[in-house]
Amino acid sequence: MDSAGGLATVSVVSFLRVPNHFRPPGSLLLGSSLAFILSSIGPGQSPGLDLKGDSSFDVDRISCSLTPPRRWLSHPGGRLCLNPSSHKEFKIEPLAADLPLDLGAYAGTKIIRLPRILTARVIAPGDSSTAAAAPAESWSPYQLRFTSKQPGGALIKGSDFFPDAQPALIRLLEIRNAAGAKLRLTSQAAATITDDGTLCVSTESCHYALTFRRIGPSSSPPLAIGVRPTAGPDGWSLEIPLAGEVTKIAVGFGFSTHTDGIQQASLRANAVFTRPIEASLAISRDAMSSMLGKVPLPRSFGISSGSSTISADDHRAAYYAAWAFLIQSSIDPLPDHPDYPFPQMSLGKGALWAEGHPKCPATCGWESFLGIQTLAWIDPDFGWLAYQGIMSLVDEHGQLGGESLPSHKAHTAWVLHQRKPDPARLSAVYPAIRRYLLWREKNPRWIYGDNMAPDERDIEFAASWMVDVDYAIRIADVLSNNSDAVMWREKQATMIDHMRSWFFRDPRKIHQFWFTDRKVHSTPQRNEYRPVMILSALATPGLPDDMRDRLLPLFRDHFKPSAPNAGFAYTKYPDNQFLAWGLIDHRQPEARSFIEALLRDSITCGEFAETIEIGKDGKPFPGGVKPSLFTALNLIEFTWLLNGVRAESGTALPFHFQGSPP
């Protein structure tokens, strides 16, 4: 196949597992610690994956209304996002009855929350206090829509969308059955009003501006509204008289940094009305349709096993929503941050997470690398630039600033090289990969906030390091660095011994932690026991049989495919990913049902999140940071796996599950 995606379909093959450091010199390395033996299987026996995508993709087919509603939206590469979750708690509230416009933004190394930029309601004649009903919301990859029943029988149908990647937005309001009433737009923000009626607001962190237009026939440009807002110390308000059966009002929003100046915000707010609203909406829709049309197309959707049932339509919609979320989580280089001229893959733009390296806090040391890997299937150029940027910050000791998380550094470089081969880039990033992996070898632990125990050893980190070193070996081989390839294999063998000593020493229980100085398996700060994290070790290259044979009963003790979250109280995509690989690698019959169960709950949870957990009611719910790439990426990869394709190495490699026809 052409590494840029020339292979149209993938059919099933069988495989034999060959750990890397047991591999004979010169043998072919394919997959994650796997050498695949191709067999001739008819395409009818496996749906496979069409890497050319779906050129006729219609983005409106995946619009949906969910409970709770899906509220995230951005534009690919843009700095703005709609409806960011709350700070630290990561709560995502439904749209309030007064229809507030809430935005978040990335500016330099800072995050900005702009709640309640404006609110909207209809004031019926003689009624200024009756509350509107709770609105209904619906999502599509290019706009958020809402419908609100207003006092006096009026109705507001609205939508918010980004015309392009510029920091600007349009809110369109269509008011029905409100002749003689007024539309009241208001905010508590202090504002100034320009001669043309533009509202300008300055905050400690940014400027923004709002402009207002009436919308006439679809082919005509927006019109002046004919009234001016008023502003005072308690905020601003605008009351627009309503006449006729339908009135359409549009609000233009423009954002600017303090460096850009407030005039730039005003220019951006007014610029969204240089063409008809319908044209802007069509451009936004077509941009997302085009990008989603490039997404690898699974030949089969739906889960129909006895314990996990998802319709083909629901599965398809969730798959493309996951891709839309991934695509919209990208951030173009920020002009106000010249010290970091690289794009970023955020953890999930709507979370406004900013715990990464101080120079690029939106880039997470875990989610972002995995997101880059997946996005590379349709946009390897973005991936290379985002990856080069973050790896340029690995210091001389090998540490990467910000929250320190399990390693996918070499893995990501290898995937990018498969999707768009570039030996020069691979050679340029390898020294940083090498420094990082040598540092991580000595520090297989979580570093964040006050969790700074140098003697902590974490099985999840050790397993991830082992897998990542597998990819470092491949890179060293490509670069003809034989001495490093040998070094990495030797270090893998040593780490296996360490893992046995640290985590498997207790004959009664496999432990998640070991503290080398204190000689204990837990401390008051680090004492959780999460089986799925321990079970990620099943993907360890060269895992000895006796260690495997202790992990598998732990899996079976918890795994219940018909239960919520497959019987686990807590799951997270990277652990699910490694566990799925391990079950496949070790030819376990539960591999398919595990993948189906986790895919089922990634879809039914609705919101993309860091984790899936079990509530007091026994139902799975999205936990941790949200919205987050993890369940979106879980959904994408597990869909491919159910279609008989492993793609973690950056190349689509067919396989079959144990017990399925060879």
Q: What is the pLDDT of residue 359?
A: 97
* Vertex 92 angle, CA 86 and 93, to 5°: 105
What are φ and ψ of residue 562, in 5° steps?
Answer: -85, -10
Here the tokens at position 332 are 């173009």
If you average pLDDT over residues 113-142, what whole number do you get? 89
Here the tokens at position 566 are 């497959």
* Vertex 261 angle, CA 259 and 267, to 5°: 130
pTM value is: 0.93
Q: Which residues contact 590 (CB under 8 A, 6 or more apart)?
A: 555, 556, 559, 561, 583
pLDDT surpasses 90 at 155: yes
Q: What is the pLDDT of residue 6?
A: 37
Identify which has the larger pLDDT, 285 or 658. Answer: 285
Are the C-beta atoms of residues 186 and 236 closer than 8 Å to each other? yes
Beta bridge partners of 112: 105
User: Helix crossing, 629-642 with 573-585: angle to 10°?
Assistant: 20
Q: Which residues contact 617 (CB under 8 A, 6 or more apart)?
A: none
Beta bridge partners of 169: 253
* Vertex 357 angle, CA 361 and 413, to 5°: 100
- C-alpha 303/C-alpha 319 separation (Å) is 13
pLDDT surpasses 50 at 32: no
Q: What is the pLDDT of residue 293?
A: 97
> Which among 166, 186, 161 is positioned nearest to 250, based on CA atoms?
161
Q: What is the pLDDT of residue 151?
A: 87
Here the tokens at position 461 are 């980190």
Dihedral sign (CA 155, 161, 163, 166): positive
Here the tokens at position 342 are 């690289």
- C-alpha 299/C-alpha 39 separation (Å) is 20
Q: What is the pLDDT of residue 87?
A: 92
Q: What is the pLDDT of residue 128?
A: 59
Contacts 24+ apart (CB under 8 A), 282-287: 283/163, 283/164, 284/75, 284/142, 284/143, 284/161, 284/162, 284/163, 284/164, 285/59, 285/60, 285/142, 285/143, 287/75, 287/76, 287/142, 287/164
> Which among 103, 114, 55 is positioned nearest to 80, based on CA atoms?
103
How much helix, strand and coil, in percent to the nearest 5, is found in the chain? 35, 20, 45
Indicate the Cα dihedral angle 585, 502, 550, 639, nearest 10°: -30
Looking at residue 292, its amino acid is L
Give the position of tokens 């099943």: 538
Q: What is the pLDDT of residue 425?
A: 98
pLDDT digits (tens, 9 = 90+) for 271-285: 999 999 999 999 999
Q: Identify the three-state secondary structure at position 103.
A: strand
Q: What is the pLDDT of residue 661?
A: 60
Beta bridge partners of 136: 147
If you average pLDDT over residues 185-196, what whole number do you get? 96
Q: What is the pLDDT of residue 5?
A: 37
**What element of type H or E holds 207?**
strand 207-214
Report the mean per-residue pLDDT for the chain.
91
Q: What is the pLDDT of residue 569?
A: 95
> Which among 378, 422, 539 is positioned nearest to 53, based on CA atoms?
378
Q: Would you give the end-to-end CA distance of the chain in angstroms?
A: 23
Q: Identify the three-state secondary structure at position 121.
A: strand
- C-alpha 532/C-alpha 460 separation (Å) is 9
Query: Is domain 14-33+45-55+293-654 in CATH 3.20.20.70, yes or no?
Result: no
Q: What is the pLDDT of residue 34?
A: 35
Provide the b/e sequence for 414-453 (b: ≥16 CB within 10 Å): bbbbbbbeeeebbeebbebbbbbbebbbebbbbbeeeeeb
Are the C-beta atoms of residues 406 and 464 closer than 8 Å to each other? yes
Q: What is the pLDDT of residue 371?
A: 98
User: DSSP class of residue 205?
Assistant: S
Q: What is the pLDDT of residue 555?
A: 98
pLDDT digits (tens, 9 = 90+) for 482-537: 999 999 999 999 999 999 999 999 999 999 999 999 999 999 999 999 999 999 99
If you average pLDDT over residues 340-344, what whole number do you get? 98
Are the C-beta atoms of residues 308 and 600 closer than 8 Å to each other? yes
Whether the ω angle into residue 298 lies within 30 degrees of 0, i.e. cis, is no
User: pLDDT band for position 31 (50/70/90)?
Assistant: very low
Classified by CATH at the fold level, domain 65-284 comes out as Beta-galactosidase; Chain A, domain 5 (2.70.98)
Domain ranges within the chain, ordered by starting residue: 14-33+45-55+293-654, 65-284
| Side-chain half-sphere CA neighbours of 46 within 13 A | 28
Q: What is the pLDDT of residue 620?
A: 93
Here the tokens at position 481 are 């660095």
User: pLDDT band for position 662 (50/70/90)?
Assistant: low
What are φ and ψ of residue 551, in 5° steps?
Answer: -75, -40
> Do the domains spanning 14-33+45-55+293-654 and 65-284 agree at the CATH topology level?
no
Give the position of tokens 């069988």: 14
Q: Which residues contact 447 (CB under 8 A, 6 or more apart)?
A: 403, 404
Q: What percent of the chain has pLDDT over 70?
A: 92
> Which among 660, 651, 634, 552 is positioned nearest to 1, based on CA atoms?
651
